[in-house]
Structure 1
Amino acid sequence: MFIRPGFVVVIVGITLTSLSTIVVAMRYYCRWYRMGIIGATDHLMMVALILTWGNTVVNYYQDETSRKFRPSYFRRPDKRPQFETALRGTLITWYVYRLTYGVALCFVKLSILFFYRAIASHRAFRRMVYYTIGFVVLYTVGSTIAAAFQCENPAHSWDTSGYLAQFDGNPKTKKPHFKCYDPTKLWVFTAAINLFTDVLILLLPIPTLLGLRVPMTKRLALIGIFSVGIMAIVASCVRMWVMALWSESPQNSARFGADLLLWGQVETNSGIISASVPFLRLFFRRNDRREPEKGVAPAPRKEISPPKPVHTDNKPLQIDSMAFFGPGEDGEDTGPNGSPGWKPFITVPASLSSRGSGMLEPTNAHTTV
């Protein structure tokens, strides 16, 4: 029984995003009902989850539109009126996906970094967190703008006549004068940057955690909690490998297109889950949110701001992260250059309904997925 690779992407995306939804819901429960605190880190993760559901919906329409035609029809002008509408839909969905995928990853990373910001008291650590936040925001904005303007006129990105003109063997055929650039190098570069920032975010708190003046068991437990994000790095590594295969040739871009989408889902959802799982340990703690006694007015809730940086002057590193461990020994909580080269070029994904369908693509036109 043959199952379309695009359909597999949809099923995996729905399954993983549903699991992420459950984990984020439990995170909100623990943060509010167990700690009485919900902050920017939680809301940023919720935005990432919403964008990931958006990507899952886009994956569904990518499969629905691409399965209505075969790449072999691209060279047959008599067949084009039958699938031109579906082809336009495919182009639009891929255009949207290229924009939203990177933004979703950005919000996952910002959620983690804002959590680091909230628990850091060491000046050097906080400064590194701010630098990383700025870097993640800047490269995401830059790559998103570059993806949006793949063509000088963005509407040309989903113009079917521009794409189909690449498959006309008759040199007398009049081709549209579109100015687009091949974004393959951009996507490979952004995939490498995503992997780099994943590793950086994982390693960022380790020196501070190692310098804590707490028992070694608690120190190692904290490192273990922060190291849960390694599964997102593994997914990012696999997607980077698939991206390298996908970018080698037009044939490979059609062959590995579905795999690229699938590992994109795995990467994003792994980041959401691994960044939220550490908060779920609060299920096994007593409720730290104390209800006011009957007849006693509740105390006004105070806004909790990140701790101020402190001068260490050769003192051991400190981090306000003991909320992970609950009450301390004394019974009190410790607290929580150049523009792109424009040229006649337009990119479009091949069908997701079968593998190896990219053999029909001309060698001088890179069909992107």
Structure 2
Amino acid sequence: MGTLTTRELVPGSRQASVFGVGGAFVAFISAVIAARVYVRVVMLHALGTDDVLMVLGSILAFGLTAASMTAAYYGVGRHVDDIPKETMVPMLKSIYSTRIIYVLSLGFVKVSLLIFYLRLDHRRYMKWIVYALQFVVVGLTIASVFILAFSCYPPAKFWDLTGEAEGHCMDPDSQQVFYEANGILNIITDICIYLAPIPMLWGVRISNRRKGALFGVFGLGILSIAAGCVRYDFVKKLAHNPDQYYSLADSLNWCSIEIYVAVFCGSAPALSVLVKTYAPALLGSSGRTGHSHGHPSGPGGTYRLSSRPTNRRRLSDTIDLNGSQDNIIAGQGRSEGIMMKTDIHMEVNDADSTQTHQDHFRFGK
């Protein structure tokens, strides 16, 4: 019987799961992020800080998948007796990188979500809640990266098999305590982050149907929390597992799933804009309206406004893009519900009729 090469997947190993899960999620999230960027740049012309952070977080997540696949290529997912000695060093280097990339990626994604929340609710106490969560997330991310990067000093000590490299590593029991504490804190921050929009959404002036849809979107965060809990369970099981490289494959898979689900949740509002514009039947709406992607439809750089009943303020029949808020005329009767901000970006507030893609929540600049 011939000797196995490092390119072969050992029957009964979990290597294939790392490649399968990673490949599927990379393809799916690539499409999600591409759609988000298209909506924000092409349709809304409003690429924001939260978009940039989400893209960076996704790129890091792809890096996590690549590092996990590399680790599996060299032995993760195999039983320890099946791992060739010559592949141990590159495998350990890959494992070392997954730990740091995971923390960074999750940190970027969480901060992106929190920046988006700042645009949902401008009440002072809600802002302070979000700022406090940002402080905790950023602090936890920086501290975790520092501890993981220098759990062995110099880092080369982490993958040294000879015992000849100078330096030292954190005591294994101390490392395990850190992993478990970090996992619990991540789960707690996840819960806080996905609960934060609930009081915000109650105060947003949108239809109950759309409000329910947004609750559903953020409700998907439960999946990310669940993935974090499963990952934490696998981390605990690795503590005294004599065949830990075999079980590590599952832990790496759930690290990726946790991040990718969070990316999807954070990008879902942008995807709803795309669906509402090009496939409105899926959301039960009537399709596009007169203007195209925020460009003027009237002469002289103006928007022609149709009349709909509402209790809000009234605009003149056309709005000059070079004008100011003076175009807004206070009305006592029932007229078009439009809010104009100082940057002349319009948001149509129509509770009972179809809205354009600019009516949706903007992710923030």
The TM-score, its normalising length taken from structure 1, stands at 0.71
Higher relative CO (CA 8 A, sep ≥ 6), structure 1 or 2?
1
Q: Take 1:73 and 1:22, find their aligned partners in 2: how far apart are those partners?
A: 37
Equivalent residue for 2:248, pick from 250, 253, 257 = 257
Q: CA offsets per residue over residues 278-335 of structure 1, 9 Å max, x none? A: 2211121336633246985798899xxxxxxxxxxxxxxxxx9xx9x96425999777
Q: Take 2:360 and 2:14, find their aligned partners in 1: how far apart are those partners?
A: 48
Partner of 2:336: none
Q: Take 2:27 and 2:61, find their aligned partners in 1: how far apart are those partners?
A: 10
Equivalent residue for 1:279, pick from 270, 281, 295 = 270
Q: Superposition pairs for residues 14-53 of structure 1, below 5 Å?
A: 14-53=23-62
Q: Take 2:359 and 2:34, find their aligned partners in 1: how far apart are those partners?
A: 26
Which runs of 5 or more residues in structure 1 are unaligned?
A: 75-81, 163-174, 303-319, 337-369
Q: Take 2:250 and 2:147, find their aligned partners in 1: how far apart are those partners?
A: 23
Are residues 64 and 222 of structure 1, via their aligned partners in 2, closer, same or farther at CA, if it must alter by over 3 Å? closer
Range that drifts further, 135-144 or 6-15: 6-15
Q: Take 1:153 and 1:266, find their aligned partners in 2: how far apart are those partners?
A: 31
Q: CA offsets per residue over residues 160-212 of structure 1, 9 Å max, x none? A: 212xxxxxxxxxxxx76642112222112211111111111011121232344
Q: Take 2:18 and 2:322, find their aligned partners in 1: how far apart are those partners?
A: 45
Q: Take 2:16 and 2:42, find their aligned partners in 1: how far apart are those partners?
A: 39
Partner of 2:93: 92
1:268 aligns with 2:259: yes
Q: Take 2:89 and 2:162, find their aligned partners in 1: how far apart are those partners?
A: 10
Q: Take 1:66 and 1:252, find their aligned partners in 2: how far apart are those partners?
A: 12
Q: Take 1:301 and 1:201, find their aligned partners in 2: how far apart are those partners?
A: 39
Q: Superposition pairs for residues 1-369 of structure 1, below 5 Å?
A: 2-66=11-75, 71-72=80-81, 83-84=85-86, 86-162=87-163, 178-181=167-170, 182=172, 183-212=175-204, 216-247=208-239, 249-251=240-242, 253-283=244-274, 284-285=276-277, 286=288, 289-292=293-296, 296=300, 327-329=349-351, 336=361
Which runs of 5 or more residues in structure 2 are unaligned?
A: 1-9, 278-287, 303-319, 324-340
Q: Take 1:73 and 1:106, find their aligned partners in 2: how far apart are those partners?
A: 35
Q: Which amino acid aligns with 2:36?
A: R
Range that drifts further, 92-101 or 285-294: 285-294
Aligned residue pairs total: 295
Partner of 1:77: none
The TM-score, its normalising length taken from structure 2, stands at 0.71
Secondary structure of the corresponding residue to residue 256 of structure 1: helix
Range that drifts further, 105-114 or 237-246: 237-246
Q: Which amino acid aligns with 2:264?
A: I
Q: Tell me which protein shows more strand as a share of its residues.
A: 2
Q: Which contiguous aligned blocks of 4+ residues in structure 1 show a shift greater than 6 angstroms? A: 67-70, 297-302, 330-335
Q: Take 2:122 and 2:210, find their aligned partners in 1: how far apart are those partners?
A: 18
